[in-house]
Copies of this chain bind each other. A is one copy, B any other.
Amino acid sequence: MNYRKKFVVEPGEKIHLNKVDPSYTGQHESHEKAMPIMQEHIARMDKLQYLLYADGDQSLLIVLQALDAAGKDGVVRHVFSGMNPQGTSVFGFKQPSKDEAAHDFLWRAHQRAPARGEVVIFNRSHYEDVLVVRVHKLAKKSIWSKRYDLINDFEKMLTCNGTRILKFFLHISPEEQLARFKQRLDDPSRHWKISDADYSERELWSKYTEAYEDVLELTSTPHAPWYVIPSNHKWFRNLAISQIIADTMDEMGLKLPPTHVDIDTITKQFHAAEQKQAKLVGKERGD
């Protein structure tokens, strides 16, 4: 199954999230059977990241957005842990600092955009400025409603400069969120992750859903598509995301950079160094 085709939001398409099955697992029978397939995708990602880094021409930006407990951290951990940390960075977007808030909403995202050769993962992102900001009325509608276009322009500019952008919305059901909250509550080693806002945010589920549906409709573009990933099953979520990333990177035409030295010259230098080394070793031996 091609999950890029299956889960992509077409530009302008209206997604009704309550009609998307968050428990979907496709033809995969179980976690165990899906595991080797995911490992294959991750190995492909790893290989392609090496080329991306070596080539140093293009870059990749991954955006992860979701409601609490949908698994953004889990995706970072399970999908990206195999990647070479040299050339892979993760930025978590928290409440803006005073300095960040004093600038336009795209300023901090722009600073963290990937350099050529890099993979950058946004754990939350500039989309919070049309999500939490909208739901909690932290800005007027006249302000946030302009941001969809501004985001599209910003992402287009990054794309023009060689950045490939993939955006994932991790879709879970309210029942699944509650089950995950219960797991946290039942396990004292996870109590530190519980936030006072967990249940008050949950109360705003339908408002967040509405805000996400607008994001998906208004900001899924050919150059920076959104994917709605069924995420009730963590293993399927990781499988689908890793396939989509690997397939996209496959298409980026990544290749080893050309040799920037003259190999004949280098070969001569190598032989000279080899002879010198042999003499040195001879001297040490007293030959």
Contacts and interface: CB of A to CB of B under 8 A. Distances in A.
Most buried by B among A83, A85, A198, A257: A85
A281 B270 CA distance: 74
A14 to B, nearest CB: 22
A192 B55 CA distance: 9
A32 interface: no
B192 A54 contact: yes
A192 B267 contact: no
Given A194-B266, A273-B202, A84 B89 contact: no
A242 to B, nearest CB: 14
Contact of A86 (B82, B90, B182, B257): B90
Interface in A82-103: 82-90, 92
A174 interface: yes
Given A89-B85, A89-B89, A260 B192 contact: yes
A117 to B, nearest CB: 11
A259 B85 contact: no
Contacts of A87: 90
A123 interface: yes
Interface stretch (A4-12, A72-80, A126-134, A221-229): A72-80
Nearest to A56: B192
A184 to B, nearest CB: 9
A174 B277 contact: yes
Given A182-B270, A202-B273, A256 B189 contact: yes
A274 interface: yes
Contacts of A73: 86
A3 B92 CA distance: 35
Interface in A248-287: 256-261, 263, 266-267, 269-270, 272-274, 277, 280-281
A29 interface: no
Contacts of A185: 263, 266-267, 270
Contact of A84 (B81, B191, B281): B81
A182 B273 CA distance: 11
Given A85-B121, A89-B89, A90-B86, A192 B273 contact: no
Given A81-B84, A192-B256, 20 more contacts: A54-B192, A76-B84, A76-B86, A77-B86, A81-B82, A81-B83, A85-B88, A85-B89, A85-B90, A86-B92, A178-B273, A185-B263, A185-B266, A185-B270, A189-B256, A191-B259, A192-B260, A194-B263, A195-B261, A198-B269
Which 6 residue pairs of A and B lie closest in terms of their CB atoms, listed nearest first?
Answer: A191-B259, A199-B269, A86-B90, A192-B257, A76-B86, A85-B90
